[in-house]
């Protein structure tokens, strides 16, 4: 068997902790970073957001969807 390959991966840093802000439903530009092209909320392990901020982010995305600031589902599904 060959040598094992280890990837040196940088630790993801929470966007909200780094920018010293909290997730807000009115800030649609920031929320779009954490919603994929299908309209789903990106999980913590992919986005790098801290657990507390991920919960706040989920609430903010749901509020923005309810107020029609973000779509529930992407329009271009084939």
pLDDT, tens digit, for every residue of 47-75? 999 999 999 999 999 999 999 999 999 77
pLDDT, tens digit, for every residue of 12-23? 899 999 999 999
Which structural domains are found in the chain, ordered by start? Answer: 15-66 (4.10.640.10)
* pLDDT at residue 11, rounded to an integer: 81
b/e burial code for range 45-72 (CB count within 10 A of at least 16 → b):
eebbbbeebbebbeebbebbbeeebbee
Instruction: Please give the Cα distance from 41 to 30 (Å, whole number).
Output: 12
pTM: 0.82
Phi/psi at 63 (5° precision):
-65, -40
Neighbours of 73 (CB within 10 A): 9
* pLDDT at residue 45, rounded to an integer: 93
């Amino acid at each position: 068997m060959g040598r094992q390959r280890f990837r040196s991966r940088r630790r993801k840093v929470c966007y909200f902790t780094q920018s010293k802000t909290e997730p807000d439903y009115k800030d649609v530009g920031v929320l779009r970073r954490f919603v994929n092209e299908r309209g789903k909320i990106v999980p913590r392990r992919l986005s790098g957001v801290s657990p507390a901020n991920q919960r706040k982010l989920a609430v903010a995305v749901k509020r923005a969807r309810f107020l029609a600031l973000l779509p529930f589902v992407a329009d271009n599904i084939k």
